[in-house]
Amino acid sequence: MMIAVLFLCFAMSLLVGLPLAFAMGLSAIAAIAFDGTQSFLIIPQRITASLDSFALLAVPLFILAGELMNAGGITERIVRFSRSAIGHFKGGLAQANILSNMFMAALSGSSLADLSAIGSMMIPAMSKQGYSKPYSVAITSCAALMAPIIPPSIIAVIYGSITGISIGSLFLAGALPGLMAGIGIMLLARLLAGRGGATAMPRESWSEFGRVGRGALPAMAVPFIIVGGILSGIFTPTEAGAVADFYALCLRLVSRRHNARGLYALVLNARATT
């Protein structure tokens, strides 16, 4: 009966338009009150216990790393490298969008962070190149959904902390499927390039490609540092998030885009996304 009350209150809360978090909370309180055998003191205890997890601390740390990378101009370097590498192919800019999202997913592990960072640059660029707006938005949205698969996946961190499964093993398990998903979406973008209204981009010289590649190399090293460090046992996933933050902050200092007020805003953004 307690379960019936729980689901009934949850359904009624959703019907009246309550936010999901409030609907879940009120349903739980109603179920506990109906049962009568549990003390209401258990509610704050359970809330505190659910958040008291060292592994879950990795979630805001990885999101903050993505924010720091984006603010430090690293995202722009990744996009330039992707465009330089495959932008001259048929549907190349759409494929560069997908490749940029794959790199960004390996930095932040958050779909929202990928969508805001890559979409703000690639959607206008694709529109200028002749792609239709719906096609550009669809490509960017689909590519951003690879973040829960590609390590360091935030979903993997949460799942591992709840079930007790090794987060490093989950990261390793998601690497190949994430890579295959990205390649599959890129092939589909190539096949649908004509429908999107795309025009080909000129091919850049090898010297320009090398220059852009050297600029993006520090960012592309982050996934190997994070995943390699976790799998080798050098640091835990939470420590890997802290290392990623320190590395991203150093890159931001080198790029001379650092200021205390901007850093505070990035921390607030990471908190809101978390």
What would the pLDDT profile of 223-265 be if each residue is shown by its tens digit? 777 777 877 778 888 888 888 888 888 877 776 666 666 777 7
Q: Is the pLDDT of residue 210 over 70?
A: yes
Percent of the chain with pLDDT over 90: 0
**Residues 6 or more apart whose Cβ sits within 8 Å of residue 57:** 238, 241
Percent of the chain with pLDDT over 70: 87
Give residue 50's pLDDT band: very low, low, confident or very high (50, 70, 90). Answer: low
User: What pLDDT was estimated at residue 258?
Assistant: 61
User: Phi, psi (5° rounding) for residue 51?
Assistant: -95, -15
Q: Is the pLDDT of residue 49 over 70?
A: no
pLDDT in tens, 78-106: 778 877 777 777 777 888 888 888 888 88
User: What pLDDT was estimated at residue 51?
Assistant: 65
The token pair that represents 248 in the structure block: 């991203």
Residue pair 109/62 in contact by the 8 Å Cβ criterion: yes
Q: How far apart are CA 121 and CA 118, in angstroms?
A: 6
From 75, 76, 98, 74, select the one nearest 86 (Cα to Cα). 98
Residue pair 109/157 in contact by the 8 Å Cβ criterion: yes
CA distances, 160 to each of 45, 84, 112 (Å): 22, 37, 21
Residue pair 126/94 in contact by the 8 Å Cβ criterion: yes
Q: How far apart are CA 26 and CA 204, in angstroms?
A: 58
User: What pLDDT was estimated at residue 256?
Assistant: 66
**Which letter does DSSP use for residue 197 in this model?**
T
Give residue 110's pLDDT band: very low, low, confident or very high (50, 70, 90). Answer: confident
Q: How far apart are CA 75 and CA 101, in angstroms?
A: 10
Give residue 148's pLDDT band: very low, low, confident or very high (50, 70, 90). Answer: confident
From 147, 137, 145, select the one nearest 94 (Cα to Cα). 137
CA distances, 110 to each of 65, 156, 157, 250 (Å): 11, 11, 11, 21
